[in-house]
């Protein structure tokens, strides 16, 4: 009989830890939360100091029963849920459900799932941190007050299924505000000049015009540009200044949740939710030979701190593999408001190189692990060093600048080469040397509007504004897309009509709540609850004091929106005009003679490609139940053609199957849809075909 019962969240994690601890320990999983607020009602007693009414989550009764059964057999119960606010709250709910004494030391946490870390943590249980529990509880109640207070108004005034979220509404608004900036943007014309000069030894030097009449160059019309070009071509030039400069480029710190999600988006094209799913696997454990081991530390963190033991291990690895000149140990620090009990995201063992782990990991797991491993190792290495030269070539009212640079020490780029800089050699020159203008190119440019948000840039914006926390970024992005407020086109996030309408209601009636500054202030208040310097009821009371009058006024003032759009398409069953009905999951045609006629049909987006399978239908864009886009025949179910890649109106010259546009790692190519054929060509951006 096991003397100790250990409870974790994940069944996989449970199996891994039980192997580490041996026969005196029984490890079971709660499979996440066991208690929560009810879905059918607000679940908060507004008249009794906002007391939450927790219930057992549907389906968790048998889980609790099994835990109680094992609890009776054990001498001691330890709760080893994740080391964050959410994990602390789950531990508290488990202790409540099992009627455990919360004053006893039963809480175990570890930053990494390795045998040493788990065994060490088990020896040092602590009391559940009520501050963290209260902070999570306050966050849950805040979100419930917003969601269950505002969402019914959206259902009645716009459409069923819409909802408001405290953080999601702010994220949606940021995307819409950026779209407004783009729409309001007026491009301004400007001109650039590049000159090619010949040295006295007939070597070519590229230089950019930077000053005119001792001021920064500002040319805004073609007439002015042509006048300047004419003057430059009749001017004599010489070298007036040479400056040698040294530059260093420091490595980035090890990843936080935010920077990992941003980098994985930019470098690997991963969504934030995919990044977190893969990171969870790497954290919980990968089977390596006969053992299972967590490969990275806990992946929800806003701290850049590295443990002393990890720093020392990295130092030894770097010295052994690259030489002592590359080593520069750094513990790092935490940003403002970071939960510094955590470490940054790093490999649990620096000796587990990506090359050694390649045979144990799936492709995307390996790609993410490689990112984490190289970033950590690079963070413990010296800066890259550069020697640069800057040459000023002047004549009359004009000043050109030529720059050269070469890397003299690669430093951290030895392992983390992102190829941001390349050596640029300049021909030897001397001050006073005459330079002959060989060629002058003028280029018309226009200022560009701000870029649309991508997942990476929106996460960065949320973090910089103090909106949400590491654990909320991925769920927030998933929620606003799932609810139909935002769509992703390529990598860009664009608001939908539903998003615009919902945001309009929020701005007109709940502006304070969707202001980024207000959301950031609420995060600071939640941090104060964690520190036990503020009572959670006080924070909720202040918030509800702001929200309640807004809700009362919105009930009276919000006008009903009619989203139905009348078309000239006739219903094939009764002849009445068809309406375009808009829902959270998309739009469809519905007969305007409802309820007498209940005919509906999907709105199919044709792409101008005949179906290669039945040769009767047209290929149309479709969506799965989870809103994932694919392409299929409009004659479904009679024709079953379907493709995850977008077909084009050409056949493979090699095997005759239809060609499709590549995506992901094959982005920018056109390839054969047949798995048996290896035909690929580069995509012409203008024609969508071979260059």
Q: What is the pLDDT of residues 396-423, one digit of tens each?
A: 999 999 999 999 999 999 999 776 678 8
- Return the percentage of the chain with pLDDT > 70, whole number: 96
Q: Poorest-confidence range of 161-165, 231-235, 683-687? A: 683-687
Binned at pLDDT 50, 70 and 90, residue 193 comes out as: very high
Give the C-alpha separation, 304 to 333, whole Å: 5
Distance of CA 53 to the CA centre of its chain: 33
What is the tens place of the pLDDT at every residue in 489-499?
888 999 988 89
Residue 664: inside a domain, yes or no? no
| CATH code, domain carrying 441 | 2.70.20.10
Spell out the residues 6+ positions from residue 374 whose beta carbon is closer than 8 angstroms to its own.
Answer: 354, 415, 416
What is the tens place of the pLDDT at every residue in 501-517?
899 999 999 999 999 99
Binned at pLDDT 50, 70 and 90, residue 340 comes out as: very low
Number of domains, the chain: 5
Hey, is 158 helix, strand or coil? coil
Give the C-alpha separation, 133 to 365, whole Å: 32
Q: Is the domain of 162 the same as that of 110?
A: no
Q: How many secondary structure helices (H) and strands (E) does the chain include?
A: 18, 30
Q: Is the domain of 392 the same as that of 427?
A: yes
Give the C-alpha separation, 404 to 179, whole Å: 39
Q: Is the domain of 12 the same as that of 118?
A: yes
* Predicted local distance difference test score (pLDDT) of residue 691: 32
Q: Poorest-confidence range of 123-132, 378-387, 445-454, 680-689? A: 680-689
| CATH code, domain carrying 18 | 3.40.50.140
Binned at pLDDT 50, 70 and 90, residue 690 comes out as: very low
Rama region for 668: left / alpha / beta (φ>0; ψ in -120 to 50; rest) = left
Q: Is the domain of 68 the same as that of 149?
A: no
Binned at pLDDT 50, 70 and 90, residue 97 comes out as: very high
* Predicted local distance difference test score (pLDDT) of residue 337: 44
Q: Is the domain of 246 the same as that of 391?
A: yes
Residue 277: inside a domain, yes or no? yes
* Predicted local distance difference test score (pLDDT) of residue 626: 65
Read off the pLDDT of each residue in 257-268 and give the average, rounded to a whole number. Answer: 94
Hey, is 405 helix, strand or coil? strand
Residue 282: inside a domain, yes or no? yes
Within a 10 A sphere around the Cβ of 458, how many other Cβ atoms?
Answer: 25
Answer yes or no: is pLDDT of 638 > 80: yes
Query: Which of 88, 105, 128 marks a domain boundary?
Result: 128
Is omega for the bond preceding 37 within 30 degrees of 0, making it cis? no
What is the tens place of the pLDDT at every residue in 653-683?
999 999 999 876 677 789 999 988 999 988 7
Nearest alpha-carbon partner for 260 in 220, 311, 309, 298? 298
* Predicted local distance difference test score (pLDDT) of residue 627: 64
Residues 379 and 342: beta-carbon distance below 8 Å: no
* Burial class of residue 380, CB neighbours in 10 A (0-12, 13-18, 19+): buried
Active-site annotation holds for 298: yes
Strand partners for 389: 244, 404
Q: Poorest-confidence range of 116-130, 338-352, 584-598, 639-653? A: 338-352
Query: Which of 98, 128, 158 marks a domain boundary?
Result: 128
Residue 684: inside a domain, yes or no? no
Q: Poorest-confidence range of 78-92, 130-144, 402-416, 609-623? A: 609-623
Read off the pLDDT of each residue in 634-663 and give the average, rounded to a whole number. Answer: 90
| Mean of per-residue pLDDT scores for the chain | 91
Would you say the pTM of this structure is higher than 0.85? no
* Predicted local distance difference test score (pLDDT) of residue 388: 95
Which is catalytic among the residues 283, 298, 322, 369?
298
Answer yes or no: is pLDDT of 178 > 70: yes
Q: Is the domain of 16 the same as that of 102?
A: yes
Q: Is the domain of 481 the same as that of 371?
A: no
* Predicted local distance difference test score (pLDDT) of residue 585: 67
Q: Is the domain of 326 the same as that of 417?
A: no
| CATH code, domain carrying 372 | 1.10.290.10
Q: Is the domain of 9 the same as that of 95?
A: yes
Looking up tokens 């030489």 gives: 323
Q: Is the domain of 515 the same as that of 598?
A: no
- State phi, psi for 291 to the nearest 5 degrees: -110, 165
Residues 484 and 496: beta-carbon distance below 8 Å: yes
Q: Is the domain of 359 the same as that of 427?
A: no
Answer yes or no: is pLDDT of 281 > 50: yes
| Residue 408 structure tokens | 């003299």
Residue 678: inside a domain, yes or no? no
Residues 80 and 17: beta-carbon distance below 8 Å: yes
Handedness of CA 107, 113, 119, 121 (dihedral sign): negative
Print the domain residue range for 104: 4-128
| CATH code, domain carrying 515 | 1.10.460.10
What is the tens place of the pLDDT at every residue in 34-85?
999 999 999 999 999 999 999 999 999 999 999 999 999 999 999 999 998 8
What is the tens place of the pLDDT at every residue in 521-562?
999 999 999 989 999 999 999 999 999 999 999 988 888 887
Q: Is the domain of 461 the same as that of 539?
A: yes
| Residue 365 structure tokens | 């797991």
Query: Which of 321, 345, 379 marks a domain boundary?
Result: 379
Half-sphere exposure of 293 (CA within 13 A, CB side): 16
Residue 667: inside a domain, yes or no? no
């Amino acid at each position: 009989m096991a003397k100790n019962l250990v409870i974790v969240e994940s069944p996989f994690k449970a199996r891994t830890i039980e192997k580490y601890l041996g026969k005196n320990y029984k490890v079971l999983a709660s499979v996440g939360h066991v208690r929560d607020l009810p879905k059918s009602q607000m679940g908060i007693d507004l008249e009794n100091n906002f007391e939450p009414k927790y219930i057992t989550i549907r389906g968790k009764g048998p889980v609790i029963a099994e835990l109680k059964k094992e609890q009776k057999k054990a001498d001691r119960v330890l709760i080893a849920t994740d080391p964050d606010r959410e994990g602390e709250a789950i531990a508290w709910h488990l202790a409540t459900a099992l009627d455990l004494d919360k004053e006893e030391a039963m809480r175990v946490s570890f930053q990494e799932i390795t045998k040493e870390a788990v065994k060490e943590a088990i020896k040092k249980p602590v009391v559940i941190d009520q501050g963290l529990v209260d902070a999570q509880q306050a966050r849950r109640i805040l979100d419930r007050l917003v969601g269950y207070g505002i969402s019914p108004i959206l259902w009645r005034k716009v459409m069923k299924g819409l909802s408001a979220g405290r953080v999601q509404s702010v994220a949606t608004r940021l995307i819409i505000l950026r779209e407004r900036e783009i729409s309001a943007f007026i491009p301004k014309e400007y001109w650039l000049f590049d000159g090619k000069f010949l040295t006295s030894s007939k070597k070519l030097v590229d230089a950019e015009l930077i000053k005119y009449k001792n001021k920064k160059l500002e040319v805004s019309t073609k007439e002015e540009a042509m006048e300047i070009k004419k003057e430059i071509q009749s001017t004599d030039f010489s070298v007036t200044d040479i400056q040698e400069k040294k530059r260093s480029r420091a490595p980035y710190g090890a990843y936080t949740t935010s920077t990992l999600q941003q980098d994985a988006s930019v470098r690997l094209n991963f969504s934030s939710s995919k990044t977190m799913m893969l990171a969870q696997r790497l954290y919980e454990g990968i089977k390596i030979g006969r053992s299972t081991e967590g490969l990275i530390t806990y992946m929800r963190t806003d701290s850049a701190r590295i443990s002393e033991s990890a720093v020392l291990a990295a130092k030894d690895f770097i010295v052994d593999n690259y030489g002592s000149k590359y080593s520069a140990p750094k513990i790092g620090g935490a940003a403002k408001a970071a939960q510094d009990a955590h470490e940054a995201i790093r490999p649990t063992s620096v000796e587990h190189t990506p090359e050694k782990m390649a045979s144990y990991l799936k492709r995307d797991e390996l790609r993410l692990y490689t990112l984490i491993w190289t970033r950590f190792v690079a963070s413990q290495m010296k800066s890259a060093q550069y020697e640069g030269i800057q040459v000023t070539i002047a004549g009359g009212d004009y000043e050109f600048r030529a720059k050269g640079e070469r890397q003299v020490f690669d430093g951290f780029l030895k392992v983390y080469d992102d190829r941001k800089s390349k050596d640029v050699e300049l021909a030897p020159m001397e001050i006073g040397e005459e330079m002959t203008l060989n060629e002058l190119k003028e280029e018309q440019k226009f200022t560009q509007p701000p870029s649309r948000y991508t997942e990476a840039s929106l996460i960065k914006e949320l973090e910089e504004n103090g909106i949400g926390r590491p654990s909320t970024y991925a769920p927030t992005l998933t929620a606003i897309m799932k609810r139909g407020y935002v769509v992703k086109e390529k990598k860009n996030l664009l608001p939908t009509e539903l998003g615009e309408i919902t945001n309009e209601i929020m701005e007109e009636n709940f502006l304070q709540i969707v202001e980024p500054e207000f959301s950031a202030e609420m995060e600071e208040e939640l941090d104060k609850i964690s520190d036990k310097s503020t009572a959670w009821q006080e924070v909720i009371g202040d918030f509800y004091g702001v929200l309640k009058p807004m809700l009362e006024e919105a009930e009276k003032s919000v006008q009903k929106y009619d989203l139905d759009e009348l078309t000239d398409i006739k219903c094939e069953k009764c002849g009445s005009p068809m309406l375009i009905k808009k829902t959270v999951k998309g739009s469809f045609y519905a007969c305007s003679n409802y309820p007498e006629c209940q005919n509906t049909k999907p709105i199919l987006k044709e792409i101008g490609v005949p179906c290669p399978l039945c040769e009767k239908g047209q290929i149309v864009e479709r969506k799965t139940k989870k809103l994932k886009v694919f392409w299929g025949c409009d004659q479904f179910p009679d024709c079953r053609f379907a493709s995850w890649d977008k077909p084009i109106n050409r056949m493979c010259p090699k095997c005759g199957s239809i060609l499709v546009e590549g995506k992901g790692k094959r982005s920018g190519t056109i390839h054969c849809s047949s798995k048996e054929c290896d035909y690929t060509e580069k995509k012409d951006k203008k024609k969508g075909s071979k260059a």
